Amino acid sequence: MSDNFFDIAAACFPADADSSFIELESGRRYSYRDLMEISGRYARLLAELGVAKGDRVAVQVEKSAEAVFLYLACLRAGAAYLPLNTAYTKAEVGYFLGDAEPKVFVCPPGNEAALADTAKGAGVGNLLTLGTGGDGSLADRAAGLDPEFDTVACAADDLAAILYTSGTTGRSKGAMMSHRNLSSNAATLHRIWGFRPDDVLLHALPIFHTHGLFVATNCVLMNGTGMLFLGKFDPDAVFRLLPRATVMMGVPTFYTRLLADPRLTPEAAAHMRLFISGSAPLLADTHREFRERTGHAILERYGMTETGMLTSNPLDGDRIPGTVGFPLPEVSVRVADEKTGEPVAEGGIGVLEVKGPNVFSGYWRMPEKTAQEIRPGGWFITGDVGRIDERGYVHIIGRAKDLVISGGFNVYPKEVETVIDGIDGVVESAVIGIPHPDFGEAVMAVVLRRPGAAVDEAAVVGACREQLANFKVPKAVAFVDELPRNAMGKVQKNLLREANKGRFGA
């Protein structure tokens, strides 16, 4: 057995290949035999297309069982799986393809015509399609192939995936994840969250992000059990399926939405063993309210794309609202001074730095960015500001870099500001996150116009819609005569946030 994460996970698959792996809302079931056969055919097709170890396979498809099989096929073929948010626009996809130079790009059948030029322009040799019903050219071409496929042996350090995270400069960075990164994190989470042979995971997260892909799906694979697979978070479906599930992983928005629903009762959650939250701060109030309504203390954990999961509240022990728990086994977390990198005094506030087998190997083709964010001793600078209390619980205080997290997705202000600043009549803009009862934070733009310019809210929103994924588009726009600045000329976003904090009623 090699260190290929697929081999490690496959060693945990159930003896009975007919056991369920994925069950869709429609009731359609995919067994572990289906997993092996479909991923085997897809891997064979990739190999026939010339995909070799380390080659990238970029994928922008809707969530489906087939998309999971494609992820596994990439691992089996030794390729680097590169999932892209389905909300990314053509221009954004063009950037990713140009940067990553994948050998294959897979999109939904309906987008093929629109993306053909983009793929060609980026030099991608193979454009294939995959639909949610197992349709599309990839599935068609794989259909007649032999499902037996010898998984390509990989070393622990070999590249398994590239996940793009936006940069504050607006340029996205591809976090290179190795097989070790995936397997160490999956084994640890599977263990510390006490997965059992009868667990059923309710999966309502997107699978282009570390949370839904590596945390949720990989835990299920390591457990050799099944998941109830929703296309997206939908309270009706969640309430229908909770009586059959035992574990749910979600972003805080899931929990606030469930709380807003009268169907959330102790009975509705009676079959559940564990509710887990992450990707954005879970308000302590949400944690308390959820406990009052259901009897369940949500287990909050913290992680990021570049590092996988880093900390978790305990399965047995106090899950403290407003904290993200203890560093995971094998993961070291320290609090350092942002400028000097020196560890701060015990209990002090600083930037969280982390080290461990889960930490990525660097940013794709950006050695200088990698060097800026990983210290020579291997400590990765998360950019999150926090502290560790006397009991060892990690608290996240804020983000060093003004990142906005809306509905669990990262929005880097600079990227939105660049679009707004490009509108005729706009002098400059500042994009901030404002507390929002549903999204956690909502994007807001504060805009300075040229005197007499006719730019209005519709123009700002319209320009953003055209060029950016929907979740990055401002939900509010305000026009000001000047932006507040400090003595160094930097815009004081904290003042803008303060002035607008009640805007969405959170």
The residue ranges that bind ligand AMP (CB under 6 A) are 165, 210, 278-281, 300, 302-305, 324, 382, 384, 396, 399, 405, 410
**What is the bridge-based pairing of β-strands 350-355 and 380-388?**
antiparallel
Question: At its nearest, how many Å lie between ligand AMP and the CB of residue 438?
Answer: 17
* Residues facing 165 on adjacent strands: 173
Question: At its nearest, how many Å lie between ligand AMP and the CB of residue 242?
Answer: 22
CB nearer to ligand AMP: pick between 306 and 417: 306
* Residues facing 354 on adjacent strands: 333, 380
Question: At its nearest, how many Å lie between ligand AMP and the CB of residue 124?
Answer: 25
* Contact indicator for 500, 479 with CB cutoff of 8 Å: no
Q: How far apart are CA 443 and CA 470, in angstroms?
A: 11
Give the CB-side neighbour count of residue 69, counting CA atoms within 13 A: 31
Question: At its nearest, how many Å lie between ligand AMP and the CB of residue 224?
Answer: 26
In sequence order, what are the residues at sequence separation of 6 or more whose Cβ sits closer than 8 angstroms to the Cβ of residue 440? 251, 252, 253, 256, 280, 281, 405, 406, 407, 408
**What is the bridge-based pairing of β-strands 173-178 and 362-363?**
antiparallel
Give the dihedral sign, CA 158/408/385/190: negative
Question: At its nearest, how many Å lie between ligand AMP and the CB of residue 398?
Answer: 8
Q: How far apart are CA 7 and CA 75, in angstroms?
A: 9
Neighbours of 39 (CB within 10 A): 27
Q: How far apart are CA 431 and CA 441, in angstroms?
A: 12
CB nearer to ligand AMP: pick between 118 and 165: 165
Question: At its nearest, how many Å lie between ligand AMP and the CB of residue 305?
Answer: 3
CB nearer to ligand AMP: pick between 103 and 209: 209
Question: At its nearest, how many Å lie between ligand AMP and the CB of residue 490?
Answer: 21
Question: At its nearest, how many Å lie between ligand AMP and the CB of residue 3?
Answer: 24
CB nearer to ligand AMP: pick between 154 and 310: 310
CB nearer to ligand AMP: pick between 149 and 380: 380
- Residue 488: is it exposed, middle or buried by C-beta count within 10 angstroms (0-12/13-18/19+)? exposed
Six-digit token string for 506: 């959170």
CB nearer to ligand AMP: pick between 39 and 178: 178
CB nearer to ligand AMP: pick between 399 and 436: 399
CB nearer to ligand AMP: pick between 210 and 429: 210
* Contact indicator for 449, 455 with CB cutoff of 8 Å: yes
